[in-house]
Structure 1
Amino acid sequence: MIKSKNKKYLSYIKRIKIFLYNVLENDRNSLNHIYSLVALFIVITSSITVFLLITPEAEKLPPDLHSFLKDFEEITLYFFAIEYILRWWVISDFFEDFKTVLTQKKERNFKAYYKAFLYALKIKLKWMVKPLSIIDLIAILPIFRPFRTLRILQILRILKVVRYSSGLKSVFQALREQGFIFIFSTLMILLNIVIFSIITYIFEYNAKNDAFKNLFDALYWGAITSFTVGYGDITPITDTGKFISSLMTFINIVLISVLTAGFSVSFINRLLELKEGEVKMPDLENHIVICGYNETSEEILENLVNLEIDKERPVVLITNYDKKDLDVNLSNIIYKKGDFIKEDILLDVAIDKASDVILVGEKLPHLTDRDIDARTALAGMLIKTLNPYARLYVEVLLDEDAEIFKKRLGTKDILIHGQILGKIMFSSLLNPGATQLVETIIDNETGIRKVKVKEIGNFETFGDILLYLRKQDLMPIALERNKKIILSPSDDFKVLETDYIFIIPKSGETD
């Protein structure tokens, strides 16, 4: 019961961590763009506050304003401090990294624990020495009183603007997309203020209105009347002046509405692009790209999300299907709608810099299995041309196409749709329980793991590895050398540092 509660609690903490990671670090998530804009506003306003407080004129500020600015600066310092701590927390899983290294050690002594601790801490430290992280740290140093005497530290807070580049990109993109409307509306507003102010000034001056002493007063009246309800310090007394005042206000309200609406639409479209698959991300690298959607890619996506691989590196799904038609959680997956046999679609998600590409047989209306395999082959050859170094995994629908794919695409990772499932079911028919065995072996939590020999330790034979791993409640079942699998090698089989071992938990049980 206690273990069950602890597991539930850890699962809850994990969900919070993933959510915060998406908000703070994942610039592919719409929440990150919204947060960046909010944080950007805080950075700019707090920087202005700092400049006001450190200038020689600060003593001339009204006491209540001075007090408010001091309090606001204090609040923003704590805000950025909490943000820094949360970023440090979500950037990696310290305990998971610690456990990973510890399980690879032969003996559980102080040295093993120390090395595991250093490895887990090293990931955090690498993040801390990144330029953006250093800027974050500098921004919160004034939280300690002695550092407040160093004014340069307070001024450098403005550099945090770089941190929220995703928010800035959204703003600049909105300005670029609505550039004509923005420039046209702004110029028309200024033109209206100038023309109507001059006309009003002429009538009011001739009517001996003392409020309109000069042209500057008239322009001041025009600006205040256009953007506020007016202060009442300058008002027209002629009927013509009052009419012009009303007309100018109405026209400028319409123009300002057009300006803000255009900007808002562009920004919202940017957020929708992230959700609806029209996004372009040519700067991605070392990411996983899944081309096509079917039950195979659905299973792959669910496992990637469950294992949080999408946190370690970006995962992209390219498909012809609408997002609403996909029966899988894509909250942390980059969704790109389009045909993956087109070069421009692939380059939109930086296929040339991807580390792994998975091609599945996406079924489309009026296409036979042969047609779908032909599309898969075309996509595979295009991907190999754009990125010859990517690891390519391909699913084909017809078994006679498998050998052709292996020759043309130069990959051995060819899966024939339904073939493995058929073999498992036939094996289970001859050997009842085989299905459960296979499910256990490939299970995410308790299933098979592939580890390099040198990461476990120094061994001469497979028998040495077997004895060591059994003490760790693990069982080696196969070895990979030069991409060839050797199942259950003999105890005297000589192993190399470059070999890989496939391991399953020795104590794993199924219900």
Structure 2
Amino acid sequence: MLKLKRKRLNHKTFVKRFKLFLYNLLENDRNSLNHIYSVFAIFLVLTSSITVFLLISPKREKLPKDLHDFLIDFGEFTLFFFLIEYILRWWVVSDFTEDFKDYLTEHKQRNLKVYFNAFLYALKPKLKWMIKPYSIIDLLAILPIFRPLRMLRIFQLIRLLKLLRYSSAFRNFFFAFKENSFVFTFTFSSLFVNIIFFSFLTYIYEHNAGNKNFDSIWAAVYWGIITSFTVGYGDIVPISDVGKIAASLMVIINVILVSVLTAGFSVSFINRLLELKEGEVVMRDLKDHIVICGYNETSEEILEKIMESDIDKEKPVVLLTNYDKKDLGIELSKYILYKKGDFILEKNLLDVGIENASDVIIVGEKLPNLSERDIDARTALAGMLIRTLNPTVKLYIEVLLDEDAEIFKKRVGAREVLVHGQIVGKIMFSSLLNPGATSLIETLLDAETGIQKVKVRELGSYKTFGEIIKIVRKDGYLPIAVERNKKIILNPEDDFEIQESDAIFLIPKGESQ
């Protein structure tokens, strides 16, 4: 029985990870996999659209049978490919099973109406996704899978609108061009002038030499273009000495110019990809993400816990610090975005999308020649600046000096203020008086087996703390405290009256590792 349960658990974990992989591939534009897939999808959209155009457009010449059959087969392949893509996007956009269970957890009664409402609740995120403009375009693009609709040419060509979904790939391409626009413009202009000059020069001497292949200026320009970018077709060749010298010089100069053009674009494009890898581009567009300002042993522990609990895979996390990435004492996962910079500067905060962040953690980052008072002053400055840029953000602050804690709560409006080292000292002192207390506290702080906070309205409708104890104990939980108006009421009496806005702290059933 235990083996069967373990197999189910492993299967569930595999499905969850596979779903997360597909989400990053199809929907997460801050993931490198998504950019690679976008390029491949653009290729399919363009080639399949050309295929459709060749099949439905009026033509004087009949298509060869093998080409016609290939175009038909390729069209069928792309159609089913985008159908599978649509189904997978619909699947990964939300977790239907978890949403269904969450709704049932909030409603203790079990009847047909509750199950139906749970079904609608779980289906709602997927329906919202389906009515988005990009999703509607995706749906219209796969409608020709029904053969009667293939007669409507508009449905055949509407897949071109799918290019809008992959606009980020186009933006990266044009950004790479824009970054060195002067070099590209100069090189293109030089290529054009070089081809025109040598084409005209060669035309003059070849025409006077009686070369019938150079019978017009356009033939000369055609020769110049073909010779510059290919080895030449051999249909037009110079016969005069001056024409041969001009052709040689033109090819040498154009090879150099094309090399400069290719190298410049490659450097710009690689730099753009490196920026994407480091998250420099997408950070500004983040929403409801976590920003960690500063690096020390506290933020290192936070980052480790975030990666252990897979929070970084479900919610964007950004680390903003003065330290180089190689100097960090931890290897960041590919899902955690990193930016080097001082978090007291507004520009750096805006670069990590601080105005749209849901949670911000500021730690006392130690820098050379700064006292503890100076570090706390920097933390205060960052806190006030962040509060100005994002008044609704949940702010968590670490200070080095005990006397600064109350100031941060009142003036900065921090949700939580912790004094560096203070909690560790209290835990060690508690262990002296009560051996084993450290293991207990570590268990209570564990992300999986530790204390959990839930809103009363998520549990149901209750009048007293005693009623909650009776219900949640059946599910293996022990309520230990109530939070009301940001104040903690520890172990209240059974007849303590519960308000709907209260939150309950629960300890799950289990044992320490």
Same fold flag (TM > 0.5)? yes
Quick check: 1:103–1:472 contact (8 Å CA) kept in 2? no
1:204-248 CA-partner distances (Å, limit 9, x unpaired) = 222222222222221112111112222222222233323322322
* Match of residue 132 from structure 2: 130
What are the within-5 Å matches in structure 2 for residues 169-184 of structure 1? 169-184=171-186
Offset of residue 280 of structure 1: 6.7
Quick check: 2:319–2:337 contact (8 Å CA) kept in 1? yes
Q: Distance in 2 between matches of 1:103 and 1:158?
A: 44
Offset of residue 331 of structure 1: 0.9
1:457-498 CA-partner distances (Å, limit 9, x unpaired) = 111111122222122222222111111111122211111111
Q: Distance in 1 between matches of 2:446 and 2:98?
A: 18
Aligned pair 1:371/2:371, yes or no?
Answer: no
Counterpart of 1:25 (choices 4, 24, 27) is: 27
* Match of residue 383 from structure 2: 380
Q: Distance in 2 between matches of 1:433 and 1:116?
A: 44
Secondary structure of the residue that 1:203 maps to in structure 2? helix
Quick check: 1:106–1:468 contact (8 Å CA) kept in 2? no
Offset of residue 9 of structure 1: 4.0
Q: Distance in 2 between matches of 1:9 and 1:411?
A: 42
Quick check: 1:281–1:350 contact (8 Å CA) kept in 2? yes
**Does the C-alpha gap of structure 1 residues 430 and 104 become closer, same or farther in structure 2, counting only changes over 3 Å?**
farther
Offset of residue 61 of structure 1: 3.2
Secondary structure of the residue that 1:450 maps to in structure 2? strand
Offset of residue 343 of structure 1: 0.9
Quick check: 2:450–2:507 contact (8 Å CA) kept in 1? yes
Q: Distance in 2 between matches of 1:426 and 1:124?
A: 52
* Match of residue 351 from structure 1: 354
* Match of residue 418 from structure 1: 421
Secondary structure of the residue that 1:57 maps to in structure 2? coil
1:158-189 CA-partner distances (Å, limit 9, x unpaired) = 11111112211111211110111111111211
Counterpart of 1:95 (choices 94, 97, 117) is: 97
1:92-132 CA-partner distances (Å, limit 9, x unpaired) = 33333333333333245555544444333222222222111
Aligned pair 1:324/2:326, yes or no?
Answer: yes
Quick check: 1:274–1:334 contact (8 Å CA) kept in 2? no
**Does the C-alpha gap of structure 1 residues 418 and 36 become closer, same or farther in structure 2, counting only changes over 3 Å?**
same
Counterpart of 2:156 (choices 154, 157, 161) is: 154
What are the within-5 Å matches in structure 2 for residues 18-417 of structure 1? 18-57=20-59, 60-107=62-109, 110-276=112-278, 278-279=280-281, 281-326=283-328, 327-417=330-420
Quick check: 1:276–1:337 contact (8 Å CA) kept in 2? no
TM-score of the two chains, using structure 2 as the length reference: 0.92
Offset of residue 358 of structure 1: 0.9
Offset of residue 395 of structure 1: 0.6
Quick check: 1:277–1:337 contact (8 Å CA) kept in 2? no
Counterpart of 1:466 (choices 462, 465, 469) is: 469
Offset of residue 37 of structure 1: 2.5
Q: Distance in 1 between matches of 2:134 and 2:326?
A: 37
Letter in 2 for 1:334: L
Equivalences, count: 510
Quick check: 1:449–1:502 contact (8 Å CA) kept in 2? yes
Tell me whether 421-430 or 194-203 shows the greater mean CA deviation. Answer: 421-430
Quick check: 1:52–1:58 contact (8 Å CA) kept in 2? no
Secondary structure of the residue that 2:259 maps to in structure 1? helix
Offset of residue 394 of structure 1: 0.2
Q: Distance in 1 between matches of 2:253 and 2:425?
A: 72
Offset of residue 268 of structure 1: 1.2
Q: Distance in 2 between matches of 1:104 and 1:440?
A: 27
TM-score of the two chains, using structure 1 as the length reference: 0.93
**Which sections of structure 2, spanning at least 5 residues, go unmatched?**
none
Q: Distance in 2 between matches of 1:165 and 1:363?
A: 42
Offset of residue 357 of structure 1: 1.2
Secondary structure of the residue that 1:56 maps to in structure 2? coil
* Match of residue 434 from structure 1: 437
Q: Distance in 2 between matches of 1:85 and 1:307?
A: 28
Offset of residue 277 of structure 1: 6.1
**Does the C-alpha gap of structure 1 residues 68 and 247 become closer, same or farther in structure 2, counting only changes over 3 Å?**
farther
Counterpart of 2:488 (choices 485, 495, 511) is: 485
**Which sections of structure 1, spanning at least 5 residues, go unmatched?**
none
Q: Distance in 1 between matches of 2:242 and 2:463?
A: 101
Secondary structure of the residue that 1:502 maps to in structure 2? strand
1:395-453 CA-partner distances (Å, limit 9, x unpaired) = 11222221222232123510111222222232233223322222222222233222211
Tell me whether 238-247 or 104-113 shows the greater mean CA deviation. Answer: 104-113
Q: Distance in 1 between matches of 2:494 and 2:378?
A: 46
* Match of residue 446 from structure 2: 443
Offset of residue 390 of structure 1: 1.3
Quick check: 2:357–2:393 contact (8 Å CA) kept in 1? yes
Quick check: 2:443–2:512 contact (8 Å CA) kept in 1? yes
Q: Distance in 2 between matches of 1:383 and 1:32?
A: 31
Offset of residue 312 of structure 1: 4.3
Secondary structure of the residue that 1:345 maps to in structure 2? helix
Q: Distance in 2 between matches of 1:489 and 1:87?
A: 47
Tell me whether 17-26 or 252-261 shows the greater mean CA deviation. Answer: 17-26
Offset of residue 275 of structure 1: 3.4
Quick check: 2:394–2:415 contact (8 Å CA) kept in 1? no
Q: Distance in 2 between matches of 1:37 and 1:460?
A: 57
Offset of residue 341 of structure 1: 0.5
**Does the C-alpha gap of structure 1 residues 466 and 339 become closer, same or farther in structure 2, counting only changes over 3 Å?**
same
